[in-house]
A and B are shown apart, each in its own frame.
Chain A
Amino acid sequence: MVSTNNPFLQMFARSPFKPMQEHIAKAQECAVELIPFMEAVIANDWNEASSVQARIAVLEGEADAMKKDIRQSLPKSIFLPVPRTDLLEVVRMQDKIANRAKDIAGLMLGRQMQIPESIQSDMQDFVRMALNTSEQALTALQELDELVNSGFGGHETDVIEKMLVRLDELEHRTDEHERAIRAKLFAIEKELPPVDVMFLYQVIRLIGDLADRSQQVGSRLQLLVAR
């Protein structure tokens, strides 16, 4: 009979840091599906689009489950090297990346959106840029276990800071691209059905928002590591 109630054993709670990294990896995996989704939409292949959207929905659900799991493993009695609220905040922001991807795919599929030819390649670039931004958030989070291992040392914090600077740059570039697309769409909007244009603007806003959310993961991470 081996004691499971050993006080020494009970002391070691499950680390939330690795699950956090797994969570943002899952969110990114979900967001990346937007690339094949866009291709399917532009090719007018709605069968393919709906099967990709289904994949996105499943991945988003998995990310949600992971988020809940992390929250449940962090009751108030757990002692962490960083404030618990900050940590949960990072997780909440990470989850938003997956949510946004699901929103974009859902909206486009539901309305079977047509993207005007003149902005198709711009749209694809735009999605890629937004995904680069979330990829960078993931990269910064990958550094988290090193940070924990160094005992939240200043040196490792600097490494993360550099990554966050790059994240800000990427988000900024995505922003500029968003403005350019809006301008292009504005130039041709008179020729398109008004309701469709309204929703197209909305999708553009959502894609920009995905990059925004990724940047917010970065700022929360910054709060977490700031001494």
Chain B
Amino acid sequence: MEIIAQYGDIIVILACVFGFFMAWGVGANDVANAMGTSVGSKALTLKQAIMIAIIFEFLGAYLAGGAVTSTIRKGIIDPGLLSGTPELLVFGMMASLLAAGIWLLVATHFGWPVSTTHSIVGAIVGFAAVGISMDAVNWGKVSKIVASWVVSPVTAGIIAFFLFRSVQKLVLDTDKPFENAKRYIPGYIFLVGFIVAMVTFTKGLKHVGLHLSWGESALASVAIGVVIMAIGVQMLKKISPDVDADREHHFTSVEKLFGILMMFTACAMAFAHGSNDVANAVGPLAAIVGVVSAGGEVAQKSAMPAWILLLGGGGIVAGLVMYGHKVIATVGTNITELTPSRGFAATLAAAATVVVASGTGLPISTTHTLVGAVLGVGIARGMAALNLRIVGTIFVSWVVTLPAGAGLAIIFFFMFKGMFS
């Protein structure tokens, strides 16, 4: 107790620094995959992608990041067990932030595929199981989270499969693909706006002071979908078929139309990514701040301070601006095989899956979900060539990241414990 009172300020400042560092890492590395599909399919220039990422990552974090943050904050560990020793929770969460941040840095340096979500969850489970007791971990919740890591890529894959199939049936595989693209793309744009708005309204706006019932949310989402669709229709109107380019390749003009759709989908993806991944950085921070501000009470129910989400969003944007643009450029220039019609199907499927997971408070890996979605398009015969070895790589990254995050967190946990007591 007295530790918290004595060092409260230092602890909060340190936690903010670690949290910002972690969010910076997410912005520097993780965002690239979310935006790479749009840059790679030439739907967005690098500059546009970065602008969209800055705005929508931030919005996603602020408007829809709350549920996942509270899962990380109090879903993995049973806070009731720690009411006598709040400092343990504080040290543990600080250790988790530092461990995940450092692991992210190391993995990036060596070029290992690593998920921020997996490292933070591994870190929290690790310090709680070893540093406190096996019972402190809410194993039921943890197994749900781990299960969602399997379910989310599969779900995204299935959605992407059917999305691409519908694009094939309605547009690509018809006599007049250009006319049909103009006819059906507004419907897809509506879908993008509606899904994102629906999840946000039903799950996330309490901290902004908006309380909507389910019915009101649905109405508002439809309205937003229609507005976005109207904007899209205006943009589509400007595109006329390019006869010369089409002689070379029949689908050039059609893909231009899909490029418009891809822009909207990219916004949704950035929003989804912000809503889920920012929580990895700010969840532990929120837990620490909650304990310190309550004067050492491990609060069961404390409101999620909005400034914490802002700090996380700010960290992501900082990482993106300082370093992330390089990574986006690399990812974008190397994914040349992705046309807007496929990129849209994969990205929307992933974004929808991630946003829904955020709504239910499940921390999942955006990259893995995207990989699942791309595979789904591939199974629908929509990809020229995919490297299947990656599925193995991803599996390995799961297996390695969890103990690595846990191990580092345990070391830092005992280090902080020694430092402050």
User: Which segment of B46-54, B129-137, B168-176 sits at the interface?
Assistant: B168-176
Query: Across the interface, do B381 and A152 meet the contact criterion of CB distance under 8 Å?
Result: yes
Task: Report B-chain residues with C-beta under 8 Å of the C-beta of A154.
Answer: 173
User: Which segment of B28-36, B197-205, B228-236, B296-304 sits at the interface?
Assistant: B28-36
* C-alpha spacing A78/B337, complex, angstroms: 14
Please report the total number of B residues contacting A with Cβ < 8 Å: 54
* Distance to closest chain B CB from A6 (angstroms): 6
* Distance to closest chain B CB from A64 (angstroms): 22
* Distance to closest chain A CB from B126 (angstroms): 23
Task: Report B-chain residues with C-beta under 8 Å of the C-beta of A153.
Answer: 168, 172-173
Query: Across the interface, do B331 and A16 meet the contact criterion of CB distance under 8 Å?
Result: no
Task: Report A-chain residues with C-beta under 8 Å of the C-beta of B378.
Answer: 79, 81
Task: Report B-chain residues with C-beta under 8 Å of the C-beta of A78.
Answer: 385-388
Given contacts A12-B335, A80-B385, A156-B173, contact A3 B380 (CB under 8 A): no
Q: Does A180 contact B (CB under 8 A)?
A: no
Given contacts A15-B384, A81-B381, contact A8 B168 (CB under 8 A): no
Query: Across the interface, do A16 and B385 meet the contact criterion of CB distance under 8 Å?
Result: yes
Query: Across the interface, do A146 and B331 meet the contact criterion of CB distance under 8 Å?
Result: no
* C-alpha spacing A9/B374, complex, angstroms: 11
* Distance to closest chain B CB from A141 (angstroms): 14
Q: How large is the interface on A (under 10, 10 to 19, 20 to 34, 35 or more residues)?
A: 35 or more
Q: Which residue of B lies closest to A73 (CB)?
A: B385
Of the candidates B36, B109, B385, which one forms a contact with A15 in the assembled complex, judged by CB atoms under 8 Å apart?
A: B385
Query: Across the interface, do A12 and B371 meet the contact criterion of CB distance under 8 Å?
Result: no
Task: Report A-chain residues with C-beta under 8 Å of the C-beta of B174.
Answer: 155
Q: Specify which of A10, A11, A15 lies most central, judged by the most chain B CB atoms within 10 Å of its CB.
A: A11
Task: Report B-chain residues with C-beta under 8 Å of the C-beta of A149.
Answer: 172, 249-251, 255, 339, 341
Q: Which residue of B lies closest to A148 (CB)?
A: B384
Q: Does B143 contact A (CB under 8 A)?
A: no
Task: Report A-chain residues with C-beta under 8 Å of the C-beta of B370.
Answer: 8
* C-alpha spacing A2/B33, complex, angstroms: 13
Given contacts A3-B327, A7-B367, contact A12 B173 (CB under 8 A): no
* Distance to closest chain B CB from A5 (angstroms): 3
Q: Does B138 contact A (CB under 8 A)?
A: no
* C-alpha spacing A16/B337, complex, angstroms: 11
For A1-44 the 0/1 string (1 means CB < 8 A from B) is: 11111111111111111000000000000000000000000000
* C-alpha spacing A197/B3, complex, angstroms: 106
Q: Does B144 contact A (CB under 8 A)?
A: no
Q: Which residue of A lies closest to B335 (CB)?
A: A12
Question: What DSSP secondary structure best describes chain A's contact surface?
Answer: loop
For B365-378 the 0/1 string (1 means CB < 8 A from A) is: 00100110011001
Query: Across the interface, do B337 and A2 meet the contact criterion of CB distance under 8 Å?
Result: no
Q: Which residue of A lies closest to B169 (CB)?
A: A153
* C-alpha spacing A150/B339, complex, angstroms: 11
* C-alpha spacing A153/B371, complex, angstroms: 24
Query: Across the interface, do A151 and B382 meet the contact criterion of CB distance under 8 Å?
Result: yes
Q: Specify which of A9, A14, A81, A82 lies most central, judged by the most chain B CB atoms within 10 Å of its CB.
A: A9
Of the candidates A5, A6, A12, A79, which one forms a contact with B337 in the assembled complex, judged by CB atoms under 8 Å apart?
A: A12
* Distance to closest chain B CB from A223 (angstroms): 16
Task: Report B-chain residues with C-beta under 8 Å of the C-beta of A151.
Answer: 164, 167-168, 172-173, 380-382
Q: Does B215 contact A (CB under 8 A)?
A: no
Query: Across the interface, do A155 and B173 meet the contact criterion of CB distance under 8 Å?
Result: yes
Query: Across the interface, do B173 and A8 meet the contact criterion of CB distance under 8 Å?
Result: no
Within 8 A of B (CB), among A69-104: 74, 77-82
Q: Does A145 contact B (CB under 8 A)?
A: yes
Query: Across the interface, do B384 and A6 meet the contact criterion of CB distance under 8 Å?
Result: no
* C-alpha spacing A188/B330, complex, angstroms: 69
Q: Does B111 contact A (CB under 8 A)?
A: yes
For A175-190 the 0/1 string (1 means CB < 8 A from B) is: 0000000000000000
Query: Across the interface, do B330 and A2 meet the contact criterion of CB distance under 8 Å?
Result: yes
Q: Contacts A78-B388, A149-B172 given; 18 further ones with Cβ under 8 A?
A: A7-B371, A9-B36, A9-B330, A10-B387, A11-B371, A11-B390, A15-B385, A79-B386, A79-B387, A81-B384, A82-B381, A145-B249, A146-B250, A149-B255, A151-B167, A151-B172, A152-B381, A155-B175
Q: Could you list some 21 contacts between A and B, CB below 8 A? A: A1-B109, A3-B108, A6-B330, A6-B331, A7-B367, A7-B393, A7-B394, A7-B397, A8-B370, A8-B371, A9-B36, A12-B374, A13-B386, A77-B388, A78-B385, A79-B388, A82-B381, A150-B173, A151-B167, A153-B168, A155-B174
Interface residues of B (CB under 8 A from A): 29, 32-33, 36, 40, 108-113, 164, 167-168, 172-175, 177, 249-251, 255, 326-327, 330-331, 334-339, 341, 367, 370-371, 374-375, 378, 380-390, 393-394, 397
